[in-house]
Structure 1
Amino acid sequence: MTTPTQGGASIDRSRCLPNLTVGEALSHVQGESLKVIAVILVRLLNSPTTGAVS
């Protein structure tokens, strides 16, 4: 299955995504979401403006 993009190029979904069941895809998305939340939290905690003042 090919999906057209805005630039006119197309993306072949079979090359981008392996054959996953619904449960596997859902757990993959949830895992990636947790990684993103962890990265944002670390950046906020290490930020000089939002970090803890000692």
Structure 2
Amino acid sequence: MLRYALIFLVVAIIAGVLGFGGIAGAASGIAQILFFLFLAFLVISLIVGLFRRAS
């Protein structure tokens, strides 16, 4: 998931440099959503791992 967020970020940067504002905005929005989903899943995974290790 983090890989796709980075890919969309690169697409957004390239589109922004080339002047495609709409595509750059959409790609950066998708990258932001994927990044926050990755962070949420990371935190959930760490919490579940701590509870499994404790019991």
TM-score, reference length from structure 1: 0.52
Pairwise CA distance, 1:27? 0.3
Higher helix share: 2
The answer for unaligned runs of 5 or more in structure 1 is 1-15
Q: State the TM-score, normalized to the length of structure 2.
A: 0.51
* Larger Cα-atom Rg: 1
Using CA pairs under 8 Å that are at least 6 residues apart, name the structure with larger relative contact order, 1 or 2.
2
Count matched residues. 37
C-alpha separation between the residues in 2 aligned to 1:39 and 1:17?
23
Identity among equivalent pairs (%): 6
Determine which structure has the larger strand proportion and give its number: 1
